[in-house]
Structure 1
Amino acid sequence: MNIYKLLPFVPVMCALSACSVEDPYESGPTQAQEQEQQRQQEQTQQDQKRGLNLQLQGSGDAALSDVSVEALGNQYRTDEQGQLTLTDLNTGMLTLTLSKPGYQRAVVTVNSRDYQDNPLAVQLKRLSATSSELMFGGDTMFGRRYMDPSLTTMGNLLPDVEEAMIRPGNAASSAIALTQFVKPITASADFASVNLESPVLAAPTTVHPSKEFAFFSLPDTLQGLTEIGIDYVALGNNHVFDYQQKGLEDTLKYVEQAGFSHSGAGNNTAEAYAPRLVEVGNTTLGLVSATSITGDDHLVTYIATADKGGAADLTDSTALRAAVEQARDNSDYAIVQLHGGDEYSYAPTRYIDNRFEFVSRREPDLMIAHHPHVAQGFALYNGVPALLGLGNFVFEQNRHETLLGVAVSVTIDPTQTPKTQSARAYPVYLEDYQPKLVGGFLSDYLIRRLAEFSGPEIAIVPGPGFGDVYFHQAPAPQEIDTVTLTLPSGEHIIDLREYAPSHAFVSKISSTGQPEMTLGRDLMWFGDFEDWDNDNETNEVTRWEHESDDITPCLTGAMRGLQGMCLSRTQFNNRPLRMPFKQTLRTMPITPAESTLQAYSELSLFGYAKGDNAGDVSAELTIVTAEDNLEFSSEEVSLIKPGSYDWKTFRHDISLPDDSQTLGSEQLPARAVKLAFKQAPPEKGEATLMLDQLALISWQKPLSLNNGLWQAERMHGMDFIAVQTSNSVTLTLHFSAYN
């Protein structure tokens, strides 16, 4: 017998949102379920294997068979039609080394998904039997933050820090691991060189008594260079004497024990200036290295004298002339490496420009500059090719503008005219201090900027992970597309990235009216959240702080490209989500200008957002000095109100204080911005915010219309146009690129 007990009815009054009980079969998925579904979808996408189709061509687009293709440590060969299909490739960037005897080697960095349907066509140029490939990397060292992340300078202690990239007990293996991803461009070259901007010591005891920044590298770390095929190190720089005479003697000893040729420093003036002659096949190279950073403001200078060691002095015109002429007269191909100029600028200073001019009149065959830590362009001085600045190669600066360097391959033939046959620039990205090759937008961005700040006779043609540099017989870009936009009165930002591929540039603008227009350059580079480097990781977003599980790369639904950034929040977590950019973003010196003390001051924070019940979107902006991060102001600005919306733009303009306002004992002006994005919790429910294509735009080039028309003089790296108009105008944008 079933007994049912009747309970008295007790009415309960409650708010619907507080007391409702969800039926799991009737309600939609929770945020946790949606996040898990997205993670599974993204993991499936990431785990997908892809193929890549290659088409190798020789002169006249003829198929090139039996080309060796090295990828991921494996060797392949093209068939009789010059074709090769690589299968079972993971998503992400891939570096391929393509070589065939008698042809110029090619190293390409691409994403395999871009060439599943249409093949990647690569043309290899014929080489003469007397040609050689020379590879040049920029500033290189294995000390300081590699050994202790907290250091800004080094002293007489030997760091041994548990979380460091290099420790005394594993210096060799760590250095080899550090340089592994740039090995494809250096290992197969006939000759490879870097600027070794560090003493090499086993035990530091004699640090310079008054130098602000000093550092050293351990002897075993030189294996990070021998392993990738470096043959020569330039020592004519302002750090070779950081540990004075004892440190210099140790450096020379360990460099020679490692098997490197070197020049630019010695125990006296004669040794420091002496050119080094190196045999490369049937060609004799003559190598000179010197610095203009002499340390004259210190009691102990950095340069060699008749009775003191140090670097060769670039400012001593008499000794420099003799060294260059000696190298020229005793070699088939003379190379002069100049160390100097102002740091962190797009172009050489007037003094280094003067030194290029002076050296070129001595008729060397190639000139290369170091020291600014920022990749610069290319030029001809009296017919002599010049690499104006290579930036960093293996270096651990935490300044954002130093993270992109360039390594340059130069093909020479001393029996031909000109001796320098061709050059190829490879962008190098220092990701958390580790050098890596890059492709896609990041490569194209740097190549276009290098072209912009090169000499008028130079052309640089972007390729997959490189740029071909033309010192002679430069090709002309061709128009590839036009876009017509009608804008109402007011202020607008045109995002040129929306209308053309990253290797193209806006070359002409016509207008129906007279709007005020200014071209702008993105200082951030990493606001697209894409992973452009060739390491073994995929879908990295390393320039943004995103340790929270609520801030993750989203691999589906990006505004452009493969991924954006997703920020998720619920009403029950009342703390805003915060996503800072890791580096301080410094405005750059006005170029060209009389002094690098002048800088661009007008900026705009710009980007795209998509919200699903998103909370208030804001940005924390702190204006600081370029050095020491002294703070002028800090504010939180609202960018987008709460709600649901499809992809839309946001904008906030920033004006740096004028230079009459300074901070600190050195009277430093405002030169940089620190930023973080924030999403507030929603009023109720679950919130998702997607961000993509973010930029901190530096407005740098006002445009002047001539009869309603503006034309670019050359390829450039500007991706934005600010338009201000009092009337409706129609703009026609013409985009050009190299075939």
Structure 2
Amino acid sequence: MPHCNPCITLFLGGDLMCARGIDQILPYPGDPRLHEPYVKCAGDYVQLAERRNGPIPWPVDFAYAWGVALDEFRRRRPDLRLVNLETAVTRRGRPQPKGINYRMNPANLPLLEVAGIDCCALANNHVLDWGETGLIDTLHGLNAHGLSHAGAGLDQEDATAPAILPLPGGRLLLFAFATEDSGVPADWAAAPQRAGVARLADLSRQSLEQIAQHIQTAKQPGDRVVASIHWGGNWGFAIPEEQIDFAHGLIEEAGVDLLHGHSSHHIKAIEVYRQHLILYGCGDLLDDYEGIDGYAAYRGDLGLLYFADLDAHGRLSSLELQPTRQQRLSIQRAEGADRQWLQHTLSRECGRFGCTVRPTSENGFALVWPDSPH
């Protein structure tokens, strides 16, 4: 059915960490051997989750892990669905000497297809966990399944190129980048003759100008632009001033319409700057941390599904947030005290930027910002 106006709806998900325990419960589990200091078998993460919240009927079908997210997709019918895919997708390669190495069996890529994922940001600190061989397999696997991607490639030009996604009345360009403080080492950076990720050396004026040049080269009239950035550490609500300045610069000077930030394992603040959306940290969309103790104050098991409406000029019309809780390695609804925690935390963190959230009739939240149309 054709759209009667140029407004579009984007789904934005945080880190999709579908390796280890998630990979083990899917129809085609990969090699369970791990190279971590303490856990040597990926199935142990499944058992930890079961110990916490009850048995998981594994193997499960590809829809299982998405849980209520599939209901929300059917109800809201977003034009595009974008995630940060934080794993290598390979059976090959060598584990890099970093302590934690994620990989998903390529045979489990229908996990992304069943949710209708359109595009994956790959600029993160796990896509090269199995070396250049693992990255090449990841790129080939996504291509074979018709899944667009940005942020990693066979060389620097390939890694910095945007994913180009058709939209009613135009296109969406997704650029993806990662920073050193998210755990991306310098030798992972793509080079003219080296595969790797689109890595930002820093959040300097020079980095901003480089991104602006990439956007200016690719952008056509009517295009809307998303910058997906993996930045910052895993834990902590604070947002450094340099991130704020860089985000503002991307909007003011580089032509970015929406900034999709991730890396933290929990939700962070949301800002609307000059009518453009900045998600500083989306949290984890799906992971296998359910049975792991520590960092309880951040509630990494609680998350959000982000549905952003943008007008023809890329400005934010509305942002709806569906509260979620990861339970039995599946995305479920956050209810009761969990939902209240999310609302309170969002209101507190977004308050720094003059924003808050209000409950909606669908048991979700809507962002309210100065000069918002609500």
TM-score, scaled relative to structure 1: 0.43
> In the TM superposition, what whole-angstrom CA distance separates every residue of 1:188-238 from its partner, at most 9, and x where no partner exists?
22211110001101x233221x21221111113222221122111111111
For residue 353 of structure 1, report the CA deviation from its aligned partner.
Answer: 2.5
Choose the corresponding residue for 1:252, options 126, 139, 147: 139
Counterparts of 1:294 and 1:264, CA distance in 2: 16
1:349 partnered with 2:240: yes
Contact kept, 8 Å, 2:169 with 2:222, in 1: the verdict is: no
> In the TM superposition, what whole-angstrom CA distance separates every residue of 1:441-494 from its partner, at most 9, and x where no partner exists?
422320221121114332311224311113452489xxxxxxxxxxxxxxxxxx
Contact kept, 8 Å, 2:261 with 2:282, in 1: the verdict is: yes
Contact kept, 8 Å, 2:88 with 2:104, in 1: the verdict is: yes
Choose the corresponding residue for 1:282, options 141, 153, 169: 169
* Cα pair distance change 1:178/1:148, threshold 3 Å: closer
* Cα pair distance change 1:297/1:371, threshold 3 Å: closer
Contact kept, 8 Å, 1:409 with 1:423, in 2: the verdict is: yes
1:395 partnered with 2:287: yes
For residue 327 of structure 1, report the CA deviation from its aligned partner.
Answer: 4.8
Which has more strand, going by share of residues?
1
Quote the residue 2:329 is aligned against.
433
Aligned pair count reads 342
Superposed, 1:320-719 pairs within 5 Å as 320-329=211-220, 332-361=223-252, 362-397=254-289, 398=292, 399=294, 400=296, 401-414=299-312, 419-454=315-350, 455-463=352-360, 464-474=362-372
1:309 partnered with 2:195: yes
* Cα pair distance change 1:389/1:294, threshold 3 Å: closer
| Secondary structure class of the residue paired with 1:237 | coil
For residue 410 of structure 1, report the CA deviation from its aligned partner.
Answer: 0.7
Contact kept, 8 Å, 2:275 with 2:316, in 1: the verdict is: no
1:190 partnered with 2:190: no
Contact kept, 8 Å, 1:207 with 1:214, in 2: the verdict is: yes
1:130 counterpart letter in structure 2: P
Choose the corresponding residue for 1:207, options 95, 98, 112: 95
Quote the residue 1:130 is aligned against.
6
Superposed, 1:71-110 pairs within 5 Å as none
* Cα pair distance change 1:211/1:275, threshold 3 Å: same
1:431 counterpart letter in structure 2: Q
Highest RCO, 1 vs 2 (Cα 8 Å, sep ≥ 6): 2
User: If you compute each CA radius of gyration, which structure gives the higher value, 1 or 2?
Assistant: 1
Counterparts of 2:184 and 2:230, CA distance in 1: 18
Counterparts of 2:15 and 2:184, CA distance in 1: 23
2:129 counterpart letter in structure 1: D
TM-score, scaled relative to structure 2: 0.81
| Secondary structure class of the residue paired with 2:266 | coil
For residue 140 of structure 1, report the CA deviation from its aligned partner.
Answer: 0.5
| Secondary structure class of the residue paired with 2:165 | strand
For residue 324 of structure 1, report the CA deviation from its aligned partner.
Answer: 3.2
| Secondary structure class of the residue paired with 1:204 | coil
For residue 330 of structure 1, report the CA deviation from its aligned partner.
Answer: 5.8
For residue 161 of structure 1, report the CA deviation from its aligned partner.
Answer: 4.7
For residue 360 of structure 1, report the CA deviation from its aligned partner.
Answer: 2.2
Counterparts of 2:182 and 2:256, CA distance in 1: 27
1:261 partnered with 2:148: yes
Contact kept, 8 Å, 1:437 with 1:465, in 2: the verdict is: no
* Cα pair distance change 1:327/1:238, threshold 3 Å: farther
Counterparts of 1:207 and 1:144, CA distance in 2: 13
Counterparts of 1:439 and 1:289, CA distance in 2: 33
Counterparts of 1:347 and 1:275, CA distance in 2: 29
The alignment's C-alpha RMSD in Å is 3.3
Choose the corresponding residue for 1:273, options 160, 167, 176: 160
Counterparts of 2:182 and 2:356, CA distance in 1: 37
Counterparts of 1:387 and 1:163, CA distance in 2: 29
| Secondary structure class of the residue paired with 1:206 | coil
For residue 153 of structure 1, report the CA deviation from its aligned partner.
Answer: 5.2
| Secondary structure class of the residue paired with 1:146 | helix
1:311 counterpart letter in structure 2: V
1:292 partnered with 2:179: yes
1:462 counterpart letter in structure 2: P
